[in-house]
C-alpha cells in the first residue's frame, strides 16, 4: 500500500489513505527567452536554478458520522504541522522533497462516513537524500555522485582555521565550534548565535561539485560535513 511520510508520521498512522500515487512533475531549470532582431525564434539562456514544483496528493478516509470532522481535523493538524520540511514517498524511502508550503483543500463528504480531500505540497525542485542530512567525515563526502550540493560544515576547535574546498579557502575564527551553512550563507555556533563576522571568504566556493572534491581544514581542528546530497 502506497503512503507518504510527513512530519515524521505516515498517513496510515493518522487513519487516512492515499487514493493513488501522485504524479510527480519533472523539475525544470529556470530560463530566459531573448529575442534578437533579424533572427528567427529566440535564444534561450538557462540558469543553474531549478523552479519549485507542486505535488498533489488525494486522500480518502472513513469515520463514524459523529467523528467525521474530528478525523479531518486530525489530518489537517498532521499535514500543516512544521516539525520538519520533508515529504517522503513510500516507494522511494531513501529520498525526500523539501516542503516550502502546504495547502489543504475542502473535504468532500460522499456519504455520512466517507470523505476525500486533496493536499498540494509546494516543494523545491530537487530531491534530497535522507542520509545526506547527517554528519559525515571528509572521506565519506569527497566523492559526490549526485548534483551540485550546498553542504553544512561543522568545525570544532579554537583559533584561526582555514577551510579549503577544491582549492578555494574560507578563513574562520573558531571559539569552540562553528557551523558554516552554504545554502543559507550563514555562520553560527551551536547556540545559534550568528558568527558571520568570524569568517572571510565566499560561501559559493564551498559547494560540493559533482564527482571528485578536495576538502581539508587546518591541523588541530575537527571537521564534519552534512553534505545535503540532492538529485533532479
Q: What is the pLDDT of residues 134-165, one digit of tens each?
A: 999 999 999 999 999 999 999 999 999 999 99
51 vs 29, residue with greater confidence: 51
Q: Give the Cα separation of 86 and 7 in Å (integer).
A: 7
pTM, to two decimals? 0.89
Q: Give the Cα separation of 187 and 182 in Å (integer).
A: 9
Half-sphere exposure of 167 (CA within 13 A, CB side): 2
Work out the average pLDDT over 75-91.
97
Please choose, from the candidates 75, 63, 51, 180, the residue with its C-alpha nearest in 3D space to the C-alpha of residue 111.
Answer: 63
pLDDT score for 91: 97
Strands 230-231 and 114-129: antiparallel
C-alpha cell at 159: 583559533
User: What torsion, rounded to 10 degrees, do the Cα atoms 96, 46, 206, 208 define?
Assistant: 50
Please choose, from the candidates 70, 60, 58, 62, the residue with its C-alpha nearest in 3D space to the C-alpha of residue 112.
Answer: 62
pLDDT score for 38: 77
Q: Give the Cα separation of 151 and 208 in Å (integer).
A: 7
pLDDT score for 207: 98
C-alpha cell at 155: 568545525
Work out the average pLDDT over 92-113.
94
Which pLDDT band holds residue 44 (cuts at 50, 70, 90)?
confident
Which structural domains are found in the chain, ordered by start? 4-130 (2.40.30.200), 134-231 (2.60.120)
Which pLDDT band holds residue 39 (cuts at 50, 70, 90)?
confident
pLDDT digits (tens, 9 = 90+) for 26-37: 998 887 888 888
Helix, strand, or coil here: 174?
strand
Q: What residues pair up with 29 in beta bridges, in sequence order?
A: 50
pLDDT digits (tens, 9 = 90+) for 155-214: 999 999 999 999 999 999 999 999 999 999 999 999 999 999 999 999 999 999 999 999
Helix, strand, or coil here: 228?
coil
Q: Residues, the chain, total?
A: 232
Which pLDDT band holds residue 46 (cuts at 50, 70, 90)?
confident
Mean pLDDT score across all residues of the chain: 95
Amino acid at each position: 500500500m502506497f503512503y507518504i511520510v510527513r512530519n515524521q508520521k505516515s498517513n496510515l498512522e493518522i487513519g487516512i489513505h492515499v487514493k493513488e500515487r501522485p504524479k510527480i512533475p519533472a523539475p525544470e531549470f529556470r530560463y530566459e527567452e531573448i529575442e534578437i532582431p533579424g533572427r528567427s525564434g529566440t535564444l534561450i539562456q538557462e540558469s543553474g536554478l531549478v523552479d519549485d514544483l507542486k505535488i498533489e496528493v488525494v486522500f480518502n478516509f472513513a469515520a463514524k458520522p459523529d467523528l467525521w470532522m474530528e478525523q479531518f481535523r486530525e489530518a489537517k493538524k498532521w499535514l500543516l504541522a512544521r516539525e520538519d520540511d520533508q515529504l517522503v514517498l513510500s516507494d522511494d524511502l531513501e529520498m525526500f522533497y523539501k516542503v516550502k508550503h502546504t495547502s489543504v483543500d475542502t473535504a468532500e463528504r460522499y456519504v455520512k462516513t466517507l470523505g476525500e480531500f486533496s493536499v498540494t505540497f509546494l516543494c523545491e525542485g530537487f530531491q534530497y537524500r535522507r542520509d545526506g542530512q547527517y554528519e559525515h567525515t571528509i572521506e565519506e563526502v569527497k566523492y559526490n555522485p549526485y548534483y551540485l550540493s550546498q553542504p553544512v560544515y561543522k568545525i570544532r576547535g579554537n583559533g584561526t582555521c582555514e577551510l579549503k574546498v577544491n582549492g578555494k579557502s574560507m578563513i574562520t575564527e573558531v571559539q569552540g565550534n562553528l557551523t558554516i551553512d552554504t545554502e543559507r550563507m550563514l555562520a553560527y555556533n551551536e547556540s545559534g548565535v550568528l558568527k558571520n563576522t568570524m569568517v572571510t571568504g565566499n560561501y559559493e566556493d564551498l559547494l560540493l561539485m559533482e564527482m571528485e572534491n578536495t576538502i581539508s581544514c587546518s591541523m588541530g581542528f575537527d571537521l564534519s560535513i552534512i553534505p545535503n546530497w540532492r538529485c533532479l
